[in-house]
Amino acid sequence: METRHISSIALFANVRKPGPVETAAALAPWIRARGLECRVPADLASLLPGEMPSPEDDVLNADLVVVLGGDGTTLTVARKLARRRGVMLTVRFGSFGFLAEVEPEKVEIALEQVLAGDCNLEVRPMLSTTRLCGGKVVEEHPALNDVALVRGGSSRLVKIEAFLNDSPLAVYSGDGVLVSTATGSTGYNLAAGGPIVHPTLDAYIITPICPHALHFRSLVVPGESRLVLRMAETDGEAQTSVDGQITFPLRHGDELQVRQSPFGARFITLPGRPTIYDKVRLRLRWGERLL
């Protein structure tokens, strides 16, 4: 990967945990000692003695963003960076760490590799989620992991009409429908019985959640597919969740459009690091005996 243009590095951290903040405190002077500009958002700067906050636009426009946290932190940063084509180096502070590239104790070594150009760029497809009410767009969000349309507070099943590429696909009856990227296939999709898909694959997955019929199964569709979801009942209401972090309702008459985003999440990968298959084997314990 060509990295001669890197002159600024931003630090994003899960400020609710001490580990990411402590690592950021050590990284900031390390970055500046190498003649690079270090940009820190306000929430993190307030926890670092003597650190001045950078405007959010400057942080998001840095040549490289180092993400210190779990997969949830990475999802948040990925959505912020998507339209800016920002590049992330992810540092593992969570439990599963499917989105993490490097362990905290090796972050400085990893940055040396990146600055020397000894790294690669991996682009992960994302989803674009649009809610229409009365035919008008009322909100739109990118998603790196998934979009879930699930029943609200009621214990009743929801019925959701699905249309793929303008043709009827199914009427799902159950707890809801999950639309997952290949990256998100190891998250909610896996728990709902969906398949694991290589994260760079140009495809996404439609998985029924606790369907009220045994014949419903996950469907892997090409990335250019266009999916529309609607409530099939006049008195029904469902809750939409984007990456498990952004929520809004979907009522009868509303329409949820899901398609692949024109923007992807851009991750730094390092030679010799575990592959997705290694992570599946280690994180999901596929290499262990059950008895």
Of 71, 146, 243, 254, the active-site residue reads 71
CA distances (Å), origin 178, targets 41, 175, 238, 290:
33, 10, 12, 29
CB 258 within 8 A of CB 127: yes
The question of whether 63 is a catalytic residue gets the answer: no
3-state secondary structure of 97: coil
Report DSSP state, residue 102: B
Cα angle 89, 95, 98; round to 5: 45
CA distance 269 to 282: 18
Convert 107-136 to b/e letters by CB count within 10 Å (16 or more is b): beebbebbbeeebeeeebbbbbbebbeeee
**Which residues are designated catalytic?**
71
